[in-house]
Structure 1
Amino acid sequence: MVRYLRPAALSAATLVLLLATDGAAVPGGRLRLETTASTSAARDAARDAARDAARDAARDATRPARPDGPAHPGAPAPLPPPTVLPDPGPAKLAGLPRTVFTGSGFDACSAPPLDVMRTWRGASPYGAVGIYSSGRQRACPQPQLTAAWVRQVRALGWRLVPIHAGRQAPCRTDLERSRRIDPARAVRQGRDEAAEAVRALRALGLGQGSPVYLDLESYPSGDAACGRAVVDFALGWTQALHAAGYRSGFYSGLDSGVGDLAACARAGAAPLPDALWYARWDDRTSTDGRGVLDADQWSRHQRAHQQVGNATESHGGAALRVDRDQLDTLVAR
């Protein structure tokens, strides 16, 4: 996304909504609300997570070692034993529905004016928009982004994907130190960023159970200490969001942040973000993860793929600079 480093684009795409368990049709797609109705369901989810972790650990133990380095060029380097934090998620999120969209969406550096959103809703194939809801490193002003704008845009049928632009990887030496994660304080800093994000979601009227995606731009691969700091930051971010009753999203490059997070997930890191949004500008609509993600990782409508960046599109006479995304993931409630 790089919204805090250069003028932004919007991510554009067709959106399918999934609603209720019968997948009721709505204009532009299908919407689905998945509800965890009881603490019993939460216990079942925790049990299933523990079972899956044990299965993954057993599987990984049988994999041959790779002393010669990553499996393919640009793959993340092996990381040290993962951090495991207490997860308040099962209790806090019990009974809060997951709202899922499958299809295409876009994000903008600045939230577009309401008349543009109205025009694009009628003239474009898109149905979701990423909004930079918080983050001290947002590049663009947000004069449109108010609770009133959110209400009106949602009334038009748009679904919202909140994004938080915060600290970046410690190995991003092109950034000032104050804009980077401190490896010694990564978990604490992730929690602090989550608190900021929650305040913004509440101010915009986005309810508990909504996700917010941490925008962690690509960084040089192969640096285990840097990758570990990024993952620890994401775990603290997730823990604090869960404690506040919100879901955690994570955006990064497929061969940097997402690859490092996937590797630590295999090793047992917790609590993991609830959804992943990966960048790979290959103009493919698939969310298959290109071999970096295992088939069973974030596989319950928990993935988005940023497929094209910095493209200018015009619909109904209204032009926007966009990044195009394929979504099969959590969006705001």
Structure 2
Amino acid sequence: MAGAFWGPKVRTFHGRAFDVCRAPSQNTMRRWRSSDYRGVGVYFGGRGRACRSQRVLNPSWMRAVDGMGWRVLPVYVGSQSPCVGSRHKKKVRIGRYPWQQGVQEGRDAVRRAGALNIQRSSPLYLDMEAYNYRKRKCANTTLAFVRAWNREVRRHGYVPGFYSSADSGVRHMEAARRAGVRDLPSVMWFARWHTKAHLYREPALWKYAWHPQRRIHQYAGNVKERHGGRTMVIDRNLVHAPVARIG
């Protein structure tokens, strides 16, 4: 349904979602309708994406799962912070010109979304893995990239979202919000595992920031679940936020 907070063109969803490295087959998505999940996160692009091979992720898949009643959360894993913690992400760190790079990758995200029939007024979620935001130079570089990416995505009519660890990227964005920085994400997707699912009790965020209909909590990761005879390793999320409009 469309939330009054966003206006009629933005589609929002309140419920549980899973994200998985590779988009599952249509048959698996149909079988998983027996679960409590009704949203799915898909990794649709970005040079930092772990599962680059997405054999089933195409416009037909998008239309099919949308028709089944699934709500899609499109995730873009672009360049990562210069002080990223994961050794697997160090090869895709932001370079010397973070603003220009953010614009270029924002444009790429919009292009790839359009190729999947993800319409304007849909969210595109930038995945920024955990980094040491207390290192000032690194934090400034990362923030410049994120702001430029957000601005470019907005310029094309999409809603920029941001995924990160609650204690790194999310704290960084909250500090920037308090400082009055512009071009910040419109939606906050925070990862805090090993806790109950919640949206407005996250200690890294002021309770009225990114509120309402602007939050996703990833509360568990790399868990194995089986529904409808099909097993997947997923991350679990509680969502009250925009989801994709599929053409």
Task: Name the TM-score, length of structure 2 as normaliser.
Answer: 0.93
Q: Contact between 2:174 and 2:205, CA under 8 Å: does it hold in 1?
A: yes
1:322 correspondence with 2:219 = no
**Alpha-carbon separation, structure 2, partners of 1:289 and 1:236:** 29
**Alpha-carbon separation, structure 2, partners of 1:139 and 1:104:** 23
1:134 correspondence with 2:45 = yes
Q: 1:307 to 1:247 in 2, by over 3 A?
A: same
Q: Contact between 1:34 and 1:98, CA under 8 Å: does it hold in 2?
A: no
Name 2:15's counterpart in structure 1: 103
| Letter of the 1:134 counterpart | G
**Alpha-carbon separation, structure 2, partners of 1:325 and 1:167:** 23
**Alpha-carbon separation, structure 2, partners of 1:228 and 1:321:** 35
Aligned equivalent of 1:205, options 105, 117, 122: 117
**Alpha-carbon separation, structure 1, partners of 2:181 and 2:124:** 20
Q: 1:164 to 1:328 in 2, by over 3 A?
A: same
Note the 1:171-320 alignment, pairs <5 A: 171-172=83-84, 174=87, 179-182=92-95, 184-320=96-232
Q: Contact between 2:80 and 2:90, CA under 8 Å: does it hold in 1?
A: no
Aligned equivalent of 2:36, options 112, 125, 145: 125
Report sequence identity in percent.
37
**Alpha-carbon separation, structure 1, partners of 2:214 and 2:119:** 19
| Letter of the 1:329 counterpart | A
- Report the Cα offset of residue 233 of structure 1: 1.2
- Report the Cα offset of residue 34 of structure 1: 5.3
Aligned equivalent of 1:167, options 72, 79, 83: 79
- Report the Cα offset of residue 215 of structure 1: 0.6
- Report the Cα offset of residue 225 of structure 1: 1.9
| Letter of the 2:49 counterpart | R
- Report the Cα offset of residue 177 of structure 1: 6.1
- Report the Cα offset of residue 221 of structure 1: 4.5
Q: Give the match's secondary structure for 1:255.
A: helix
1:151 correspondence with 2:63 = yes
**Alpha-carbon separation, structure 2, partners of 1:254 and 1:206:** 27
Q: Give the match's secondary structure for 2:17.
A: strand
Task: Name the TM-score, length of structure 1 as normaliser.
Answer: 0.70
- Aligned residues between the structures: 243
**Alpha-carbon separation, structure 2, partners of 1:149 and 1:163:** 16
- Report the Cα offset of residue 178 of structure 1: 5.1
Q: 1:144 to 1:120 in 2, by over 3 A?
A: same
Q: Contact between 2:81 and 2:142, CA under 8 Å: does it hold in 1?
A: yes
Unaligned 5+ segments in structure 2 are: none
Name 1:64's counterpart in structure 2: none
Q: Contact between 1:128 and 1:159, CA under 8 Å: does it hold in 2?
A: yes
Question: C-alpha offsets along residues 94-133 of structure 1, whole Å, 9 cap, x if unaligned?
Answer: xx62211111101111100010000001x10110000111
Question: C-alpha offsets along residues 118-156 of structure 1, whole Å, 9 cap, x if unaligned?
Answer: 0001x1011000011111222221000000000011000
- Report the Cα offset of residue 33 of structure 1: 6.3
Unaligned 5+ segments in structure 1 are: 1-18, 21-31, 37-95
Instruction: Determine which structure has more spread, i.e. the larger CA radius of gyration.
Output: 1
| Letter of the 1:297 counterpart | A
Q: Which moved more, 1:213-222 or 1:192-201?
A: 213-222
**Alpha-carbon separation, structure 1, partners of 2:28 and 2:91:** 36
- Report the Cα offset of residue 290 of structure 1: 2.5
| Letter of the 1:181 counterpart | I
Which segments of structure 1 move beyond 6 Å, counting only runs of 4 or more? none
Q: 1:217 to 1:187 in 2, by over 3 A?
A: same
**In angstroms, what is the RMSD of aligned CA positions?**
1.7
Q: Contact between 2:5 and 2:212, CA under 8 Å: does it hold in 1?
A: no
Q: Contact between 2:132 and 2:139, CA under 8 Å: does it hold in 1?
A: no
Q: Give the match's secondary structure for 2:72.
A: strand
**Alpha-carbon separation, structure 1, partners of 2:146 and 2:40:** 23
